[in-house]
């Protein structure tokens, strides 16, 4: 599990952009806001850097494919990965063992957390959230959100999987997948008891989660150093 600081100088962003494929540069150019283009360049260059080091190859030589739900995968390598970015923070998870999903969110005041939960989450999750209040409810909401998003991303399901079809635990209890009815379209989902869920705090004001459709025996946490673009080719 890698944490990446995306706040970079213009010179470093130019290095990042040079590492991207023509297709990635075209996607980046479609973002209207400068900050979105910068986040895209930095997070995708960091993903290439991390994957290139893991596989022992030049980050520029990596090729990606997309699964039917849109989940990016490495072409021609069995290493699973997933990227998430929010604000100045990104997470990249890698696994040789199981499909995985990661999510990071910037924690912010959310007075209508319960209303959002009622509209989207499973009844048992909403009931657990309703038993909390104040900052405890807000913290639990973001933990819940990132755990659910990480599960959706592990499955590669995107918006096609209704968020009421599965439930995750809330803090302060240990993170786990309590119930999963992913349907026949996600046959790899398996028994919820075989999943691993991890709570992450990748930096001040951020919360994250990693979900893997299988057991993760050891989770190694790493951070790219602040000058990481210097490692790009
Ligand atoms: C892509 C998606 C899965 C995650 O988006 P997000 O939370 O806005 O963004 P994140 O930063 O966490 O993840 C984006 C990255 O996930 C990867 N990704 C894209 N599609 C994916 C998919 N179907 N499955 C897993 N990962 C995916 C990409 O690397 C993408 O990066 P990019 O947009 O820069 O190319 C989102 O579109 C989605 O469908 N979410 C549905 C779940 C939902 O409604 N959650 C509400 C709260 S629980």
Does the pLDDT of residue 185 top 70, yes or no?
Answer: no
* C-alpha to C-alpha distance for 133 and 131, rounded to whole angstroms: 7
Which ligand 1 atom sits nearest the alpha carbon of residue 44?
34
Res. 41: pLDDT tops 70: yes
Give the pLDDT of residue 187. Answer: 64
**Cα separation of 66 and 48, whole Å?**
16
Angle CA 130–101–115, to nearest 5:
20
For residue 80, the model assigns a pLDDT of 96
72-81: long-range contacts, CB 8 A cutoff, minimum separation 24: 79/51, 79/54, 79/55, 81/47, 81/50, 81/51
Domain boundaries, the chain: 2-96+221-231, 102-212
Domains 2-96+221-231 and 102-212 share a fold: yes
Tell me the pLDDT tens digit for each residue of 130-145. Answer: 999 888 999 999 999 9
**Residues paired with 80 in a beta bridge:** 95
Is residue 219 pLDDT above 70, yes or no?
A: yes
Q: Is the pLDDT of residue 217 over 90?
A: no
When pLDDT is cut at 50, 70 and 90, the band that residue 215 belongs to is confident
Q: How far, in Å, is the centroid of ligand 1 from the Cα of 17?
A: 21
* CATH 3.90.470.20, domain 102-212, yes or no: yes
Judge contact between 45 and 233, C-beta under 8 A: no
The distance from CA 84 to its chain's CA centroid, rounded to whole angstroms, is 4
- Record: fold of 2-96+221-231: Ribosomal Protein L22; Chain A (3.90.470)
**Ligand 1: lining residues by beta carbon, under 6 Å:** 40, 43, 69-72, 82-85, 101, 103, 145, 148-149, 152-153, 156, 158-159, 163
Region of poorest pLDDT, from 106-115, 136-145, 181-190: 181-190
Residue that wins the pLDDT comparison between 189 and 18 = 18
């Amino acid at each position: 599990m890698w944490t990446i600081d995306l706040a970079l100088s213009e010179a470093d962003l130019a290095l990042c952009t040079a590492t991207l494929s023509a297709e990635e540069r075209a996607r980046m150019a479609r973002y209207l806001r400068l900050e979105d283009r910068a986040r895209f360049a930095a997070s995708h260059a960091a993903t290439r850097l991390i994957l290139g080091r893991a596989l022992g190859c030049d980050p520029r030589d990596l090729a990606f494919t997309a699964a039917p739900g849109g989940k990016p995968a490495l072409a021609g390598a069995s290493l699973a990965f997933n990227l998430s970015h929010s604000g100045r923070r990104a997470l990249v998870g890698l696994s040789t063992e199981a499909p995985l999903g990661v999510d990071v969110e910037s924690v912010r005041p959310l007075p209508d957390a319960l209303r959002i939960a009622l509209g989207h989450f499973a009844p048992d999750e909403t009931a657990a959230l309703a038993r909390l209040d104040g900052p405890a409810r807000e913290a639990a909401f973001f933990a819940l959100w990132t755990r659910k998003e990480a599960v959706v991303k592990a499955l590669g399901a995107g918006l096609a999987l209704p968020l009421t079809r599965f439930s995750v635990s809330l803090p302060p209890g240990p993170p786990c997948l309590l119930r999963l009815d992913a349907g026949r379209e996600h046959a790899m989902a398996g028994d919820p008891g075989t999943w691993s869920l991890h709570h992450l705090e990748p930096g001040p004001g951020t919360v994250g989660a990693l979900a893997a459709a299988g057991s993760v025996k050891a989770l190694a946490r790493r951070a790219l150093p602040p000058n990481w673009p210097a490692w790009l080719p």
